[in-house]
Amino acid sequence: MKTRDRILRTSLALFNEEGEAAQSAVDIANALEMSPGNLYYHFKGKDAIIRALYDGFEHEMRIILRGTRGKITSIEDNWIYNYIILEEIFDFRFFYRNLGELLARYPDLAMRFRTLLAQKRRTITDLLHDLKKSNVLFLDPPMQEVLTDQILSAMTFWLSMDLIEGQHGEPAALIHKTVFQIMALVAPHMGESGFSAMQAMTAYYETQTG
Amino acid sequence: MKTRDRILRTSLALFNEEGEAAQSAVDIANALEMSPGNLYYHFKGKDAIIRALYDGFEHEMRIILRGTRGKITSIEDNWIYNYIILEEIFDFRFFYRNLGELLARYPDLAMRFRTLLAQKRRTITDLLHDLKKSNVLFLDPPMQEVLTDQILSAMTFWLSMDLIEGQHGEPAALIHKTVFQIMALVAPHMGESGFSAMQAMTAYYETQTG
DNA sequence: GTCTATAAATGGATAGAC
DNA sequence: GTCTATCCATTTATAGAC
């Protein structure tokens, strides 16, 4: 593997496990058993590494967001789709655990992240629209706005909440729990079928965790 | 005013406006037109200042959380109560905009914040319980759990979301919007009256924001 | 491409005079 | 209580040898 890629891989792992703030350029070099000088030959510094990592994240996320135009028409599809998004976020969790800090430090990334968030918002809107058309969901426009915000928030801060709460369990369980919480935001708007769908989800959730 | 209090007041203002991470001990001293040495005479460093500020926040918040045992029985009471909590959080917004960072740096504060969060959770649970008793709300226990999480999340990350989204408007409008979003989490569980209550809230919200 | 060595900058902290 | 002066530690960044 090329040195550049090794640096990115190791940095990502370090950031995810120990937190981005705790790692200096020298720490990264040490973890790679490489001199700081060499690290600086490949990347101008920690900033450049973080930007390169964000490039990767953004690229992947855009593919996911674009990949499902009009294909999500059932609650089950929706469930899977949420899973895919959350898995991707989890792979770059260092970024989401430090959002405020990072976006304040890199205004260019802040702008790009906002654009990505707007894209995500559009995807959620489309998705809710499709579910309404399939008569799975019943929402008036203002409530749809609010629900979109709620989903977007849940998808952005689940990792922060986990960090705050302390006891970290299995990543799979955390992602599963978060998907469940997102579905629970939608469930109350599913009318008659909503109650039973929620029951089924709860039951399913219980077999997964309890 | 005592020097100690001047330091706390100015630090809080600086942290809230410029972000905690951007301020060094020397910056704070400069803002107070005071030597760093003098600052260190009163506080062992930025750490001690932050801890003192957190003491204040925790004290106030505990009073608010305890202050309304069994007094919230209507949706309107609930609205006001949310307002009071969010105003208090806003006064110490630097803390909430940097939660991850700060709690990682001060494990003792992390522990205290978790305890406070648990207290808040209990308050929300009690509150939902009272609203159920008053026949305003209809929830089965698992859904109540989920709704509690949703409310707690909304109350914890509204400032982060505002920071990310960029264009900051009036603080009052932001708080108002957040209260509305929290009420919108509850509204779908209010049965027949829920729809009309939500309509009324939306109308009211619209008159407030334009 | 990779290393060693070192400079430059920053922020945290203290001693001692007033 | 407050100031000046200074020191220490950490991190970023570069020059030049191999």
B24-47: pLDDT as tens digits:
999 999 999 999 999 999 999 999
Mean predicted confidence (pLDDT) in A120-140: 92
Check if the beta carbon of residue A49 is closer than 8 Å to that of residue A28.
yes
Question: Tens of pLDDT along A188-202?
Answer: 998 777 777 777 777
Check if the beta carbon of residue B182 is closer than 8 Å to that of residue B116.
no
- Interatomic distance B184 CA / C6 C1' (Å): 60
CB–CB contact A100 B104 (8 Å)? no
Examine the pLDDT at A33 and tell me if it is beyond 80. Answer: yes
A128's tokens: 């809710």
SS3 content of chain B, % helix, strand, coil (to 5): 80, 0, 20
A201's tokens: 């989800």
Question: Tens of pLDDT along A132-181?
Answer: 998 889 999 999 999 999 999 999 999 999 999 988 899 999 999 999 99
The beta-carbon contacts of A130-138 under 8 Å, at least 24 apart in sequence, are A130/A70, A130/A72, A130/A73, A131/A72, A131/A73, A131/A75, A131/A78, A131/A186, A133/A73, A134/A73, A134/A74, A136/A73, A136/A74, A136/A75, A136/A190, A136/A193, A137/A186, A137/A189, A137/A190, A138/A189, A138/A190, A138/A191
- Amino acid B210: pLDDT: 52
Domains of chain A as residue ranges with CATH: 1-44 (1.10.10.60), 56-209 (1.10.357.10)
- Name the closest residue (CA) to the C1' of nucleotide C16: B37
Q: Which residues of chain B have pLDDT under 70?
A: 209-210
Closest alpha carbon within chain B to A179 = B146
C-alpha distance from A73 to closest chain B C-alpha (Å): 22
Q: Is the CB of A44 under 7 A from strand D?
A: yes
- Amino acid B50: pLDDT: 98
What confidence tier does A210 reach under pLDDT thresholds 50, 70, 90? low
Q: Which nucleotide is nearest to B27 (CA to C1')?
A: C11
Check if the beta carbon of residue A159 is closer than 8 Å to that of residue A165.
no
**pTM to 2 decimals?**
0.96
What confidence tier does A108 reach under pLDDT thresholds 50, 70, 90? very high
Examine the pLDDT at A97 and tell me if it is beyond 80. Answer: yes
Interface contacts (A, B; CB < 8 Å): 97
Integer Cα distance of A44 and B121 in angstroms: 45
* DSSP code per residue over chain A: --HHHHHHHHHHHHHHHH-STT--HHHHHHHTT--HHHHHHHSSSHHHHHHHHHHHHHHHHHHHHHTTTTT--SHHHHHHHHHHHHHHHHHTHHHHTSHHHHHHH-HHHHHHHHHHHHHHHHHHHHHHHHHHHTTS----HHHHHHHHHHHHHHHHHHHHHHHHH-----HHHHHHHHHHHHHHHHGGGSHHHHHHHHHHHHHHHHHHH-
Q: Measured between beta carbons, which residues in chain A are less than 8 angstroms from residue B21?
A: 101, 104
Check if the beta carbon of residue A40 is closer than 8 Å to that of residue A62.
no
Examine the pLDDT at A85 and tell me if it is beyond 80. Answer: yes
Report the Cα B104 to chain-centroid distance in Å.
19
CB–CB contact A143 B185 (8 Å)? no
**Rounded percentage of chain A residues whose pLDDT exceeds 70:** 98
Between the alpha carbon of residue B108 and those of residues A169, B50, B184, the distances in Å are 21, 12, 35
